[in-house]
Structure 1
Amino acid sequence: MATRDSMDNLMQQVEDTIRYAEEQYKQSSLQEQYNDDGYTNALQQLEQTYQDICKLAHSANPQQREQLHRMRLQIQQLQNSMIIEVH
């Protein structure tokens, strides 16, 4: 079973990553190609966070796995939006 601290830390990481990626997504729509580094960095952070969620899911109980699954979906949705965005 994943510890409460590890779940809390990951939840904070997910929130921070999503907030940063959304900010980069908004900035990219305003600045177009001028924000390539931040945009790319945000995509990399999303992918790393996704991988971290997958790793923790292996040691999670059913309730935690459900919560991790919802986090994974949020990350994937934002990744898809950012990839589809003509940048």
Structure 2
Amino acid sequence: MATRDSMENLTQQVEDCLRHAEEQYKQSSLQEHYNDNDYTTALQNLEQTYQDICTMAHSANGQQREQLHRMRLQVQQLQNSLILQGTRGGEQF
């Protein structure tokens, strides 16, 4: 079973990552030109967070796995949105 501290730390990491990625998504939708480095970093952070969630799921109990699954879905949804927005803006990922 994953420890309470490790779950809390991962939850905080996910929230921070999602907040940063959502900020990049909003900025890119408002501006024709956006900071490519921050946008790319947001995508990389989302991928790393996704991998961290998957790793944690291996040692989680059933309730924790359900929570991790919801987090994973949020991360994937935002990843997809950023990728689609990037391709619409001429950026290729």
> Into which bin does the TM-score normalised by the smaller protein fall?
over 0.9
For normalisation by structure 2, the TM-score amounts to 0.90
Cα distance in 2 for partners of 1:37, 1:43 equals 10
Shift of 1:28: 1.1
Task: Give aligned-pair identity as a percent.
Answer: 78
After TM superposition, which residue ranges in structure 1, 4 or more long, deviate above 6 angstroms?
none
Shift of 1:34: 3.1
Query: What corresponds to 2:80 in structure 1?
Result: 80
Aligned amino acid, residue 29 of structure 2 = S
Which protein is richer in helix relative to its size?
A: 1
Unaligned runs of 5+ in 1: none
Shift of 1:60: 0.2
Query: What corresponds to 1:35 in structure 2?
Result: 35
The size of the alignment, in residue pairs, is 87
Cα distance in 2 for partners of 1:31, 1:84 equals 15
Q: Give the RMSD, CA atoms, in angstroms.
A: 0.8
Cα distance in 2 for partners of 1:65, 1:20 equals 24
Unaligned runs of 5+ in 2: none
Aligned amino acid, residue 12 of structure 1 = Q
Query: What corresponds to 1:17 in structure 2?
Result: 17
Query: What corresponds to 1:62 in structure 2?
Result: 62
Aligned amino acid, residue 76 of structure 1 = Q
